[in-house]
Amino acid sequence: MPPLRPLRRVLVTGGAGFIGSTLLRRLLERPATRVLNYDAFTYAGVDASVAPLRPDLRYEEVRADVVDAAALAYAVGRFDPDVVLHLAAESHVDRSIADPERFVRTNVEGTATLLRVWREHVGGLGPGEAARRLLVHVSTDEVYGPISPPKAARVGDPYRPSSPYSATKAAADHLVGAWRRTYGLSAVIVHPTNNHGPRQFPEKLVPVATLRALRGEPIPLYGDGSQVRDWLHVDDCVAGLIAAAERGEPGATYHLAGGPGDGAAPTEEWSNRRVVEAICDAVDQVAPDGGASGGPRRRLIEHVADRPGHDARYALDSAASRRELGWRPRVALADGLAATVRWYAQNAAWVAEAARAGEGPQERRV
Ligand code: NAD
């Protein structure tokens, strides 16, 4: 393997979010690494997710929007990162259906702004120095659209995004691809599958089901719950992003899919119904009183009208990426879900702060 790219100064956009705050924690475990968290702290940027990092002098924070070119150029110029990991995005499919323009602005315009600013910065460094720098753009498995079993999307497969969210992520990927080919920008694109773990904003499947089960409230499940997703623990996702930052070959695209096995097919493909049932069972273990009206929490599952354009299955083939990055997931989904349920049960203060952020006056709930 070639020598690892040094991660002395790492700029993370979207560091106050679910994956970003975990990524910052892992990066700060490296004594020689300094990080800059560039985040607008939208409803999804939870202050409590990064507050414990602030006493560390190697942690810096800029509260600004990725479409604010002047703020971004100032931050990039002053911090002069070795690597930029671009995670800032609007990320909730339901919100993208209610307010697609907001997703176009952050996910497409924001990525275009970052590409312009980063290219200008790297262009001023001289060719040797510029070659050392890397942009890691974080995409999603959803850009490939629904994949029929037993297939799994491979790097280079065509994009068929279904939702406004996945369409804007696909557009952003195409911009990164164009900047690579047209301007020779050093960048990699990484597609993780569905993440689970602590500090996920309580509007996504796992935290919604967990918190409602803990409170003994009805748990809404779209359609018949048969949609299949591949799951990756957030610690494993972050390890993959760091591997891409250290070992990524400029121009390459990587798939991060769940399942500790080394086979080509992902092994953590579960239906949404199975995920929610496992969460109910894990909550029964954590709080055996049975919630408000008693009995196993599975009784709380309620089928609601399906999401428009809901993709039946996502699946990525990550075998090549595992080899190239020397990466593989460590956390099995069943264990990760149980640990995630325990985390939400034990972190009521974080949940309360996230709930307050989500109910802000400009936020639309779906
Ligand atoms: P998240 O919604 O939890 O966090 C997004 C972060 O971006 C927040 O801190 C928010 O404040 C910030 N942000 C939003 N708009 C911004 C703007 N205009 N300017 C600056 N900051 C802004 O998201 P996440 O789940 O942590 O996902 C991170 C990235 O990974 C996203 O790009 C997402 O598309 C991708 N991804 C997520 C998953 C998943 O399962 N969570 C799976 C695959 C890919």
Q: What is the DSSP string of 88-146?
A: -----HHHHHH-HHHHIIIIIIHHHHHHHHHHHHHHTS-HHHHHH-EEEEE--GGGG--
Q: Residues 59-63: contacts with CB within 8 Å, 24+ apart?
A: 59/24, 59/28, 59/34, 59/35, 60/34, 60/35, 60/36, 61/15, 61/36, 61/37, 62/36, 62/37, 62/38, 63/39
Distance (angstroms) between ligand 1 centre and the Cα of 183 equals 26
Which is nearest to 231 in space by CA: 186, 254, 197?
197
Distance (angstroms) between ligand 1 centre and the Cα of 61 equals 16
Whether 255 is in the pocket of ligand 1, judged by its Cβ within 6 Å, is: no
Query: Which DSSP state fits 323?
Result: H
As a whole number of angstroms, the distance between CA 207 and CA 204 comes to: 6
Which two structure tokens, joined as six digits, stand for 128? Answer: 């040797």
Q: Which residues touch 244 (CB under 8 Å, ≥6 apart)?
A: 136, 188, 190, 254, 325
- Closest residue by Cα to atom 29, ligand 1, is 87
- Closest residue by Cα to atom 41, ligand 1, is 195
Pocket test for ligand 1, best of 76, 86, 87 (most atoms within 8 A of CB): 87
Whether 216 is in the pocket of ligand 1, judged by its Cβ within 6 Å, is: no
Whether 62 is in the pocket of ligand 1, judged by its Cβ within 6 Å, is: no
Name the residues annotated as catalytic: 141-142, 165
As a whole number of angstroms, the distance between CA 268 and CA 263 comes to: 12
Distance (angstroms) between ligand 1 centre and the Cα of 139 equals 10
pLDDT at 259: 87
One-letter amino acid for residue 122 of the chain: V
- Closest residue by Cα to atom 10, ligand 1, is 45
As a whole number of angstroms, the distance between CA 206 and CA 294 comes to: 22
Whether 16 is in the pocket of ligand 1, judged by its Cβ within 6 Å, is: yes
pLDDT at 31: 97
β-bridge partners, 9: 34
Whether 107 is in the pocket of ligand 1, judged by its Cβ within 6 Å, is: no
pLDDT at 133: 97
* Index of the ligand 1 atom closest to the CA of residue 165: 34
β-bridge partners, 136: 85, 188
Per-residue pLDDT for the chain (366 aa), expressed as one digit of tens each? 668 999 999 999 999 999 999 999 999 999 999 999 999 999 999 999 999 999 999 999 999 999 999 999 999 999 999 999 999 999 999 999 999 999 999 999 999 999 999 999 999 998 889 989 999 999 999 999 999 999 999 999 999 999 999 999 999 999 999 999 999 999 999 999 999 999 999 999 999 999 999 999 999 999 999 999 999 999 999 999 999 999 999 999 999 999 876 554 457 999 999 999 999 999 999 988 765 567 899 999 999 998 998 999 999 999 999 999 999 999 999 999 999 999 999 999 999 999 988 775 443 332
Distance (angstroms) between ligand 1 centre and the Cα of 42 equals 10
pTM: 0.96
Distances (CA, A) of 261 to 137, 153, 253, 267: 26, 18, 21, 7
Distance (angstroms) between ligand 1 centre and the Cα of 24 equals 13
Distance (angstroms) between ligand 1 centre and the Cα of 40 equals 11
- pLDDT tens per residue across span 284-336: 999 887 655 678 999 999 999 989 989 999 999 999 999 999 999 999 999 99
Query: Which DSSP state fits 153?
Result: B
- pLDDT tens per residue across span 255-292: 999 987 655 445 799 999 999 999 999 999 998 876 55
* Index of the ligand 1 atom closest to the CA of residue 194: 40
Sign of dihedral through CA atoms 178, 257, 33, 354? Answer: positive
* Index of the ligand 1 atom closest to the CA of residue 42: 11
Report, in this order, helix, strand and coil percent for the chain, each rounded to 5: 45, 15, 40
pLDDT at 263: 53
- Closest residue by Cα to atom 34, ligand 1, is 91
Strands 269-271 and 228-233: antiparallel
Distance (angstroms) between ligand 1 centre and the Cα of 301 equals 28
* Index of the ligand 1 atom closest to the CA of residue 92: 2
- Closest residue by Cα to atom 4, ligand 1, is 17
- Closest residue by Cα to atom 5, ligand 1, is 17
Buried b vs exposed e over 39-53: b needs ≥16 C-beta within 10 Å? bbbbbbbbebbbeeb
